[in-house]
């Protein structure tokens, strides 16, 4: 009788150990990387790795003739439970850091100590490029009329004693490095002292252009005339009275921007967004899950998220959007709005309008007689179009499993309700643009005011 071949070992255990080692390494030497956020977003990759390892084991067993490894062994179950606990720990730690930024979660039984350092002032040419960075800490940058960099740093560390905290902070030096027309301000060796936070308060020439980055902390910029690039891994961004183009990348936090003379681009992930008084083009591209408010945007406006895409050419009024509603008022078209699961309210928008929505109501109201075409495609929701009595228009409206209602009476309009479907077709007045409406499981109502 031939001896039984040993069962092939699973490769999944090795892959899990590698993953655990990588997580511990990153957490130890790169604390500015928020592993909790990455885990919450990319945890399905663990299932993908598991599936790949099982395919590898299957084909390897066929090649060698060894029996295949069991689908799930006891050691794999134990290691997966350990991995699950580690992942929950990282997520909990980062949640605690986000909601209690003044407490160092890695040392919950230690006290926090801090010290203040002055930045040596340095005169620089007008229009210089300034780079300001910190791995962990807030950045507060103000513009001055002098061609000089000055400021201070607040260093903080969690430790069991003042002397231990001083040892943590001793090697974290603050320097101004020059390379051509670029001046870089950063805490040196902060990456090797993962528990040292460095808040920077800096005064820079008004004409400077800025690149500012913090891994974990808030960014506040006031009165900068040059172009601005601002990045934060976790923290709020506040910008006031920017004289050039502004580019903001935020991964977690709020954005509050008021006064941009050039173009504005906001990207990334975050919560609330508040934008006002932008003279150039404005672009918002990212998954911002809180409330979006925008006012007085002079040129082209584009808002893109996983659930909404809005384009218009000028916003004199407001955009207000949250998880369930979008309201746009006093804007110039052409305007396009593609979204789902939202109630939409559009008021006093001139120019051609195109709206596509699902699972929500749509309301479009005109303060003046309609001048450009209106197209609405909706699924599972009502559609209301409100027009002045003096309007002239052509209409093609249809509701599948719904009604069509009309306040305008004239021989050129035909309304019907057959087979449970409502429709309104024809023309009212002399000439005018075309209104096209289609919805399902809802009422189409063309209303008259004035």
pLDDT in tens, 270-288: 999 999 999 999 999 999 9
- Does the CA dihedral 131-100-252-244 come out positive or negative? negative
pLDDT band with cut points at 50, 70 and 90 for residue 315:
very high
pLDDT band with cut points at 50, 70 and 90 for residue 45:
confident
Tens-place pLDDT, residues 420-434: 899 999 999 988 999
Bridge partner list, 424: 397, 415
pLDDT of 193 higher than 80: no
Q: Which residues contact 74 (CB under 8 A, 6 or more apart)?
A: none
Whether the CB-CB separation of 173 and 153 falls below 8 Å is answered with no
pLDDT of residue 271: 94
Tens-place pLDDT, residues 353-393: 999 999 999 999 999 999 999 999 999 999 999 999 999 99
More confident residue, 189 or 396: 396
Q: Which of these, 93, 116, 114, 115, lies nearest to 104 by C-alpha position? A: 93
pLDDT of residue 13: 67
pLDDT band with cut points at 50, 70 and 90 for residue 114:
confident
pTM of the model: 0.76
Name the strand (E) or helix (H) holding 170. helix 162-170
What distance, in Å, lies between the first and last C-alpha atoms of the chain?
Answer: 99
- Distance (Å, rounded) from C-alpha 14 to C-alpha 418? 66
pLDDT band with cut points at 50, 70 and 90 for residue 291:
very high
83: preceding bond cis by omega (within 30 degrees)? no
Tens-place pLDDT, residues 212-229: 999 889 999 999 999 999
Contacts 24+ apart (CB under 8 A), 324-331: 324/360, 331/301
pLDDT band with cut points at 50, 70 and 90 for residue 6:
low
219-222/182-188 β-pairing: unpaired
- Mean pLDDT within 52-69: 69
Locate 261 and state its tokens.
């003379």
Q: Provide the mean pLDDT of the chain.
A: 85
Locate 336 and state its tokens.
């396009």
> What is the percent of the chain with per-residue pLDDT over 90, rounded to a whole number?
59
- Mean pLDDT within 131-151: 93
Q: Which residues contact 49 (CB under 8 A, 6 or more apart)?
A: 12, 15, 19
- Mean pLDDT within 112-124: 83
Report which listed range, 27-41, 117-131, 184-198, 391-405, is most confident.
Answer: 391-405
pLDDT of residue 108: 45
pLDDT of 109 higher than 50: no
- Distance (Å, rounded) from C-alpha 402 to C-alpha 392? 25
pLDDT of residue 117: 83
pLDDT of 319 higher than 60: yes
- Mean pLDDT within 78-107: 62
């Amino acid at each position: 009788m031939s001896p039984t071949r040993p069962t092939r070992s699973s490769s999944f255990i090795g892959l899990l150990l590698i993953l655990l080692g990588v997580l511990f390494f990153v957490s130890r030497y790169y604390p500015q990387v928020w592993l909790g956020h990455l885990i919450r977003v990319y945890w399905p990759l663990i299932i993908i790795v598991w599936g790949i390892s099982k395919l590898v084991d299957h084909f390897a067993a066929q090649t060698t003739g060894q029996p295949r490894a069991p689908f799930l062994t006891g050691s794999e179950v134990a290691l997966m439970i350990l991995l699950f606990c580690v992942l929950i720990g990282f997520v909990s730690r980062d949640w605690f850091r986000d909601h209690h930024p003044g407490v160092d979660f890695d040392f919950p039984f230690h006290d926090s100590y801090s010290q203040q350092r002055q930045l040596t002032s340095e005169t620089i040419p007008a229009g210089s490029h300034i780079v300001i960075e910190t791995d962990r800490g807030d950045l507060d940058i103000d513009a001055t009329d002098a061609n000089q960099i000055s400021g201070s740093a607040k260093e903080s560390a969690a430790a069991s004693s003042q002397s231990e905290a001083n040892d943590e902070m001793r090697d974290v030096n603050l320097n101004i490095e020059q390379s051509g027309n670029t001046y870089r301000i950063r805490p040196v060796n902060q990456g090797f002292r993962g528990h040292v936070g460095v808040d920077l308060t800096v005064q820079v020439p008004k004409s400077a252009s800025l690149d500012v980055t913090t891994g974990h902390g808030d960014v506040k910029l006031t009165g900068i005339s040059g172009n601005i690039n601002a990045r934060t891994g976790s923290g709020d961004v506040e910008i006031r009275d920017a004289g050039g183009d502004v580019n903001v990348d935020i991964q977690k936090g709020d954005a509050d921007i008021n006064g941009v003379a050039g173009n504005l681009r906001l990207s990334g992930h975050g919560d609330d967004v508040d934008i006002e008084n932008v003279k150039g083009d404005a672009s918002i591209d990212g998954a911002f899950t809180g409330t979006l408010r925008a006012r007085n945007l002079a040129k082209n406006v584009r808002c893109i998220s996983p659930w909404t895409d809005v384009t218009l050419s000028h916003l004199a009024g407001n955009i207000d959007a949250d998880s369930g509603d979008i309201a746009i008022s006093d804007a110039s078209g052409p305007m396009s709005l593609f979204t789902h699961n939202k109630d939409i309210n559009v008021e006093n928008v001139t120019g051609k309008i195109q709206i596509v929505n699902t699972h929500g109501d749509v309301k479009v109201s005109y303060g003046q007689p309609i001048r450009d075409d209106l197209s609405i495609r909706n699924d599972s929701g009502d559609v209301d179009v409100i027009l002045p009595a003096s309007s002239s228009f052509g209409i093609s409206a249809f509701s599948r499993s719904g009604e069509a209602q009309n306040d305008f009476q004239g021989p050129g309009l035909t309304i019907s309700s057959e087979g449970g479907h409502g429709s309104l077709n024809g023309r009212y007045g002399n000439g005018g643009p075309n209104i096209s409406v289609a919805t399902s499981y809802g009422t189409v109502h063309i209303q008259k005011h004035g």
